[in-house]
């Protein structure tokens, strides 16, 4: 392989200057000698090495557009300074927003109690105080939620078993000294101790199970 200057003088490959005229040879491409055949590629174009995919924090070369790892001062592809070049930033993460609770016109949270045994629903929305128990006309006890038709008698529900009320933006349940107690998620409540209840909580009066739901 030889390198020719612009005047056609042959020089050994790797020479910096022409031996005949002194012309710089750095920008002159080497030429193949007569006894050396050029390498012939296959019928398809030689595959170019794939550039690594840019990631967040990489520096983009302002000259050739190549991606360079963060912290590099010069482009590994063309050598241009990367100072002041753009930086790849990750896309913003969208925060999942929880649906806002539904509030009634009176300001209380919409809520209902569902009897697990027969799916009977009791809408307690808009009520500040709801009594739970078994109706007894002799004693003039008429609870807001009468569990007599839903296994209340055999389930050990007292006539005035508990009350549910709305206070400071949430519902609470309080046992009214019942015989067979009140439970929230299988935890027995102390009598006369208000306990907050949340959506999908299990509320048990004696042995009758209801599910507290807010839309």
The model's pLDDT over 55-108, given as tens digits with 9 standing for 90+, comes to 566 777 777 878 878 777 777 787 777 776 666 666 677 776 665 555 554 556
Across residues 105-123, what is the average pLDDT?
Answer: 86
Q: Find residue 67's DSSP bridge partners.
A: 60
Confirm whether 49 is domain-assigned. no
Backbone angles phi, psi at 133, to 5 degrees: 175, -145
Q: Is the pLDDT of residue 40 over 60?
A: no
What H or E segment, with its residue span, contains residue 31?
Answer: strand 30-31
Confidence of residue 128 (pLDDT cuts 50, 70, 90): confident
> Residues 170, 164, 178, CA angle at the centre, nearest 5°?
140
Residue bearing the bigger pLDDT, 161 or 69: 161
Q: Are residues 28 and 67 in the same domain?
A: no
Across residues 140-160, what is the average pLDDT?
Answer: 96
The model's pLDDT over 13-32, given as tens digits with 9 standing for 90+, comes to 766 666 566 677 665 555 54
Q: Which domain holds residue 9?
A: 1-36
| CA separation for the pair 107, 104 (Å, rounded) | 5
pLDDT of 48? 52
Q: Find residue 17's DSSP bridge partners.
A: 24
Q: Are residues 121 and 196 in the same domain?
A: yes
Number of domains in the chain: 3
Q: Is the pLDDT of residue 210 over 80?
A: yes
pLDDT of 52? 55
Across residues 159-166, what is the average pLDDT?
Answer: 96
Are 195 and 181 a contacting pair, CB within 8 Å? no
Are 176 and 150 a contacting pair, CB within 8 Å? no
Q: Are residues 116 and 194 in the same domain?
A: yes
Percent of the chain at pLDDT exceeding 90: 46
Confirm whether 104 is domain-assigned. no
DSSP string, 42-95: -SSPPPPPPPPPP-TTPEEPTTT--EE-TT-SB-TTT--B-TT--B--PPPPPP
Lowest average pLDDT, out of 20-29, 155-164, 190-199, goes to 20-29
Q: Are residues 154 and 204 in the same domain?
A: yes
Confirm whether 98 is domain-assigned. no
Q: What is the DSSP letter of 150?
A: G
- Could you give the maximum distance between any two Cα atoms of the chain, in Å? 130
Q: Are residues 118 and 69 in the same domain?
A: no
């Amino acid at each position: 392989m030889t390198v020719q200057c612009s005047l056609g003088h042959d020089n050994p490959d790797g020479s910096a200057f022409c031996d005949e005229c002194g012309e710089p040879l750095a920008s002159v491409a080497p030429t193949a000698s007569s006894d050396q055949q050029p390498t012939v590629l296959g019928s398809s174009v030689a595959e170019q090495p794939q550039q690594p995919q840019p990631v967040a924090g990489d520096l983009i070369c302002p000259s050739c557009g190549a991606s360079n790892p963060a912290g590099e001062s010069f482009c590994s592809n063309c050598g241009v300074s990367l100072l002041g070049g753009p930086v790849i930033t990750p896309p913003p993460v969208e925060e999942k927003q929880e649906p806002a609770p539904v509030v009634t016109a009176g300001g209380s949270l919409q809520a209902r109690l569902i009897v697990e045994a027969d799916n009977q629903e009791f809408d307690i929305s808009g009520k500040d105080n709801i009594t739970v128990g078994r109706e007894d006309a002799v004693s003039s006890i008429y609870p807001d939620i009468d569990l007599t038709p839903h296994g209340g008698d055999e389930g050990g529900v007292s006539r005035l078993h508990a009350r549910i009320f709305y206070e400071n933006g949430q519902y609470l349940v309080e046992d009214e000294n019942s015989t067979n107690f009140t439970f929230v998620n299988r935890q027995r409540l102390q009598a006369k101790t208000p306990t907050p209840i949340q959506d999908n909580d299990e509320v048990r009066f004696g042995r009758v199970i209801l599910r507290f739901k807010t839309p």
